[in-house]
Amino acid sequence: MTNTRTVHNPGNTVKGIVVFDVPKDARLASLELHDSAFSGGVKVALK
């Protein structure tokens, strides 16, 4: 299993695969990612 607690500094690039269980007919446009439950998060467009 990959360590998901690694610290990444601003400007660094991280590549990986994220798997979600969504309905077949769902059309996802973006994901909202947070570093904690209290952060403002960031919206990431899906291509």
Q: Which residue has the higher pLDDT, 6 or 31?
A: 31
**Predicted TM-score (pTM) of this structure:** 0.49
- pLDDT classification of 1: cutoffs 50, 70, 90: low
pLDDT at 6: 76
Q: What is the largest CA-CA distance in the chain?
A: 36
**Is a pLDDT exceeding 80 seen at residue 16?**
yes
41 and 32 Cβ atoms separated by less than 8 Å:
yes
pLDDT level of residue 23 (50, 70, 90 thresholds): very high
Judged against a pLDDT cut of 90, whether residue 25 lies above it is answered with yes
